[in-house]
Chains A and B, each alone.
Chain A
Amino acid sequence: MATIVKFENVGLRYGIGAETLSDLSFSLERGGFYFLTGASGAGKTSLLRLLFLAQRPSRGLIRLFGEDMVTLPRDRLPLFRRRIGVVFQDFRLIPHLSAFDNVALPLRVAGTSERDIERAVSEMLAWVGLADRISARPATLSGGEQQRVAIARAVIGRPDILVADEPTGNVDPDMAARLLYLFDALNKLGTTIVVATHDVHLLSRVGAATIMHLDSGRLQDPTGALRYPPQREGAA
């Protein structure tokens, strides 16, 4: 499988404090499924922010889709961001837009026709079980419903990479299983999935997933699966 993300000696420092992330070197394969684990404050969200291009690193090299993201001019960033779906931990739904308009936003940004948007968004909202809440505003939705809208928005554009920060934190086990099934289905279509989670039960649901564990901003990779080129356990 081709490498879609490559980090080399990446460090991230906010202000003049200590590095939040240090010496991250790993690669992610196209079509791979990755869980990102670690204690609170380990740097999971910071690593995800680097992945979904909300942040540039303080040092090191990041390549996404074969392009250097550290030196990429900012006017070229939008085209790369459109290839990445993001489920934010705090959902970041736009409060005055309906569930439909929130989910439709990535498609509208990408210039999709309203007819195609209508069909795709309705199907997606039905899939996450919100067909009857299509016109509801986020404030009238429960936490779990908001999370499903956020997930629907992240996957509606069929991204090459899906980055999710605690996507099952506010949903019941049944819905968590359905969402994971959605991620798995997307993964089978070739989308690279990166899920940051505390939920240990989630890790066992996807057998082929690679676990990336962050400890104090450093990546633990005992199996070598994240090295470049990847070295699977037991490989020669």
Chain B
Amino acid sequence: MRLFRSSPAERRLLLEGRLAGPMPWVIAIMMFLTALAAASGLALGSAARSLGEDLAGRLTIQLPEANPVTREAGKQAIISELRRLGVIEKVEPVSDDQLAALLEPWLGDQGNEADLPIPALIDVTLRRATPADIAEVRKAVGSVSQTARVDAHARWLAPLESLLQSLRWLAAALVLLMAAATATIVVLAARGALNTHRPVIEVMHLLGATDQQVAALFQRRIALDALLGGLAGLAIALSVLALVGSRMSGIGSELLGSASLGLSDWALILCLPLFGALLATVAARLTILFALRNTL
């Protein structure tokens, strides 16, 4: 199928300049929005993955014990018990200084000196994050202390991860909607071009041109217009992404930092104008072949 190839003589058959009409510019806008939506979706996917990898295997054990001596003894007993388990990668008690730093926003810098029963905390990292492994940790901790509580980090951040996934699906839906809108624009443009050039098409038909030959004239022109429009839209989108990226790196947030684009993500975004041109070509070809079916 001759999607893009045509001779200079064939190109002369349709009288119009490059980027004539509104279609390339509308496609540029659609491509700009598509590239932003795609980049957002891919970055959110990366953030969700990173969040899941970071938190899935992490647990915090709280030992609420008012007596500091008993608390310290319980903490050490739990650490010893956990280190015997094969599912554990790392066990690390949270030091008093770290606890004080964590509580400072609420208790002030005198918090440690106040006579408050602060629980002992132990950070645990599992080799894998299966429910069975977490249950094994709970069992081991329970065997040492009935009051100790095991908190899986993934549970607390599950709503955030779910939100990120929802936003990612929303971005994917936006990309699909944009593709559908682009195809619709191409269909309308192809119908318009067909009406404009109807006398030429009639003559070509009577001289023995096939529907495929007629469609080839239009699809190449529309594909090139879509490609040029798409490249313009992508260029603007890349500028915006670069600006947003520099602003995000300035914030220094761990969560925002994880919302980054990998090499494959960039390759996908850079290929969007090609996908757009291909979509436009197929839409134009089908529209023209369908319309010509109603003629003799």
Q: Identify the A interface with B (CB < 8 A).
A: 52-56, 74-75, 77-82, 86, 92, 94, 96-97, 101, 104-106, 108-110, 114, 153
Contact = CB atoms under 8 A, between A and B. Distances in A.
Contacts of A78: 205, 208-210
Contact of B13 (A79, A97, A110): A97
Nearest to B293: A74
Nearest to A106: B207
Contact of A81 (B7, B9, B206, B211): B206
A92 B199 contact: yes
Given A104-B9, A108-B9, A96 B15 contact: yes
Interface residues of B, number: 21
Interface in B193-211: 199-200, 202-211
Majority SS of interface residues in chain A?
A: helix
A129 B291 CA distance: 40
Interface of B: 7, 9-10, 12-13, 15, 199-200, 202-211, 213, 293, 296
Contacts of A96: 12, 15
A92 B203 contact: yes
B179 to A, nearest CB: 30
A105 B210 contact: no
B12 A75 contact: no
Contacts of A81: 205-208
Contact of B206 (A56, A86, A94, A114): A86
A203 B207 CA distance: 27
B208 A79 contact: yes
A94 B203 contact: yes
Nearest to B15: A96
Contact of B208 (A82, A97, A104, A114): A82
A56 B203 CA distance: 17
